Amino acid sequence: MKKYRIINLDKHEDSRGKLIAFEKGVNCPFEIKRAFFMYDGDINSVRGAHANKKSQFLLIAIKGSCQINVNDGINSDSFVLDSSEKALYLDRMVWKEMVNFSENAIILVLSSEKYDASEYVARMEISS
């Protein structure tokens, strides 16, 4: 079974605008302990390029788009995040590379863990 998947996010819309909420067990498989966003990258930027021992992630393109290449040691796929109505869930120990950022892209990342540099894993550690 793959350790990553697209999650479709329910949009609530009325005359005031649109709203998407994140809730553990509804559209987020974990309790959110950290959130950050990436922006002002360009088409040549590469972000990520690592896996995490403990952290799970939910990635959402708030604005614009980017490509995310993933590998769980068995499966590999490439996703284009280009809508705020879908998220990419990444479980622990999934290699990720974010590339091909569109102009003005903003990518929101929700994490199950607080920042800890010691949990970062280089590519060669995943395949062993």
Domain with residue 84: its CATH number is 2.60.120.10
The structure's pTM equals: 0.91
Domain of 55, in residue numbers:
4-10+19-127
Task: Please give the tally of structural domains in the chain.
Answer: 1
Tokens 């490439």 belong to 78
Radius of gyration in angstroms for the set of CA atoms belonging to the chain, rounded to a whole number: 15
pLDDT of the chain along its 128 residues, tens only? 799 999 999 999 999 999 999 999 899 999 999 999 999 988 888 999 999 999 999 999 999 999 999 999 999 999 999 999 999 999 999 999 999 999 999 999 999 999 999 999 986 555 54
To 10 degrees, the CA torsion angle through 117, 118, 124, 125? -140
What span, in angstroms and rounded, lies between the C-alpha atoms of 90 and 81? 13
Q: Which helix (H) or strand (E) holds 60?
A: strand 57-63
